[in-house]
Amino acid sequence: MLDHGEAPPTTDPSRAENLGLGTRLMRRKPVERLVAEGGQGEGGTLRRSLSMWQLTMISIGATLGTGIFVVLGEATPLAGPAVAISFVIAGLTALFSALSYAELAGSIPVSGSSYSYSYATMGEIVAWICGWCLILEYGVSVAAVAVGWGEYLNELLDGTLGITIPESVSAPLGEGGFINLPALVVILLAMVFLMRGAKESARVNTIMVVVKIVTLVIFCAIGFMGIKAGNYTPLVPLGVTGISAAAATLFFSYIGFDAASTAGEEATNPKRDLPRAIMLSLLIVTVLYCLVALVAVGAMPWQDFEGTEAALAQIMKDVTGHSFWGVVLAAGAVVAIASVVFAVLYGQTRILFAMARDGLIPKVFAKVDARTGSPRANTLIVSLFCGVLAATIPLGELANATSIGTLFAFALVNVAVVILRYTRPDMSRTFRVALFPVTPILGLLFCLYMMFSLPGSTWAVFGAWMIAGLVFYFGYGMRRSRLATAEK
């Protein structure tokens, strides 16, 4: 059955070429076809092996890390002690979108995440734009997270061996070095584990997630003893504008809760487990973020966060007077941030898998290894690309570019859930957004508000990225789309 507005399929490529441009751009992929193609790749299929617990751990693994261990040091100087409020605002924005994600994940349990949801509701060109934004979200955030990993690795090496990695090989050009070698190394390590298959990778990820949750709980317990009431005043030294700017930066911290939705074709019971994993992971992450932020700004004056990318380890040292706890925090952070690299890199490969299966990008990204049941060539290419970014570009620029791409994709998800409710009201849904349509509309408005809180330089990068994506689509994807050629 065709979706409303769906262009009828054709088996003749020449007929597809003769369709009007508007029709070709707005053709939609039926939900039933999206679901039927689940797991199918070039030369093999993805294996269904992930439980609800493992999906939740993937989502937490992709979310909980750099945002609190590293980006906190960049956001606190923007908002002062009110940075905790910024976390709440960013969390609310994520929550509205998470509700929409949960409904769509339970209705369309496929690997493409918001790309696939857009394809089913708004047409091919919107799906392409969304997918292109997801490449920015996942691919660039892997690089950004890897940059932060090197900071805590240095803290760990300094505390245990009394050595640090020379700046020339631990910082990119423009920040005192030539290449960020640790950032490249952590991405390559994640690549090796991912190539072993989803089930094996999920086990490694779960261990790392447990380690980082325990580390943050230890930080809160020790940091609480160092809280000084004076550090909370004035609460809003830089005004509401500062809170908004910090919230836009910190939204980077919530990127990843949607990673569970990218595992839709490898989950054992996706319709039931995906919505649960998305909501549970966001709840756990938000509570931890707010607790850590409150303790951190209470234990160290907000002005001292400027230029500190390993702030939590420094707080542990200052509160206890011993380097041991700083080393423990640094060790936990090394594991925590590595797990983010691991989980987000997984999500990126699965989104590209879905786009390649639809013909919009080269088929090599949809090739599945028969032995491991994973897209190994895809993983190799993506890892090398992200590794080069991480090794050469500063963290701040990467974080902002990631945030705007994510916010745009989340905005489309909120629109998609509204469209699908009205065009396919009888579709089976294992989760429904509460207070519909108010909730997705609020999600859309929050995303737009935070997008416009980002600096002009970030918009310039985003615009250039969009232009490059459209050039690629019109030059390659539009003609090779499976909906255009009706490949079976």
Question: Over pLDDT 70: what percentage of the chain?
Answer: 92
Confidence at 453, pLDDT banded by 50, 70, 90:
confident
pLDDT at 473: 94
Nearest to 285 by CA among 348, 330, 349, 340: 340
Question: Coil, strand or helix: which one is 267?
Answer: strand
Residue 169: the pLDDT is 83
User: Distance (Å, rounded) from C-alpha 430 to C-alpha 144?
Assistant: 35
The answer to whether the Cα torsion of 37, 38, 40, 41 is positive or negative is positive
185-210 tens-digit pLDDT: 899 999 998 888 777 788 888 998 99
Query: What are 144-175's pLDDT values in tens digits?
Result: 777 777 777 887 888 888 888 888 887 776 67
pLDDT band with cut points at 50, 70 and 90 for residue 400: low
pLDDT band at 5 (very low <50, low <70, confident <90, very high): very low
397 pLDDT band (50/70/90 cuts)?
A: low
Banded pLDDT at 217 (limits 50, 70, 90): very high
Q: What's the pLDDT at 486?
A: 60
Structure letter (DSSP) for residue 167: G
Helices then strands, counting H and E runs in the chain, come out as 22, 2
pLDDT single digits (tens) 301-316: 998 888 766 678 788 8
pLDDT band at 393 (very low <50, low <70, confident <90, very high): confident
pLDDT tens track for 256-296? 778 888 888 888 898 899 999 999 999 999 889 989 999 99
pLDDT surpasses 90 at 139:
no
- Tokens describing residue 48: 């269904």
Least confident residue range of 51-60, 100-109, 314-323, 442-451: 314-323
- Alpha carbon distances (Å) from 24 to 16, 116, 128, 201, 448: 8, 17, 13, 39, 28
What is this structure's pTM?
0.82
Contact 219, 293 (CB under 8 A): no
Q: Looking at residue 3, what is its pLDDT?
A: 43
